[in-house]
Amino acid sequence: MTKTLKPAKEFYTEVEAAAYLNIPIKELHGLLDENIFTDGNRRPNELTFCEADLVLLGFWGKGRDRDNPKVLRMPRRREA
């Protein structure tokens, strides 16, 4: 019989997400600013993350310092 895997938590705060990824909160903010908030809008003051978000952030973080062929960098959006 197949068991359903439940995440440890449904949502993680920024502090919990940074701890989960083993990075400083400032680095988490950098990942968010570089990969998500690229359209000129500011990052909200408080964010929550699910485990899928943490997987993606971890993937981006690993490719940040090294050339990672599995990470496709999108160009910054241009203002219209």
Of the chain, the percentage scoring pLDDT greater than 90 comes to 44
pTM: 0.71
Q: Are 16 and 51 in contact (CB under 8 A)?
A: no
pLDDT confidence of residue 60: 84
pLDDT confidence of residue 9: 85
pLDDT confidence of residue 12: 96
Residue whose entry in the numeric block shows the structure tokens 């938590």: 9
Rounded-to-integer distance, Cα 76 and Cα 70, Å = 19
Per domain, the residue ranges of the chain are 12-65
pLDDT confidence of residue 1: 55
Beta bridge partner(s), residue 12: 49
Rounded-to-integer distance, Cα 34 and Cα 2, Å = 39
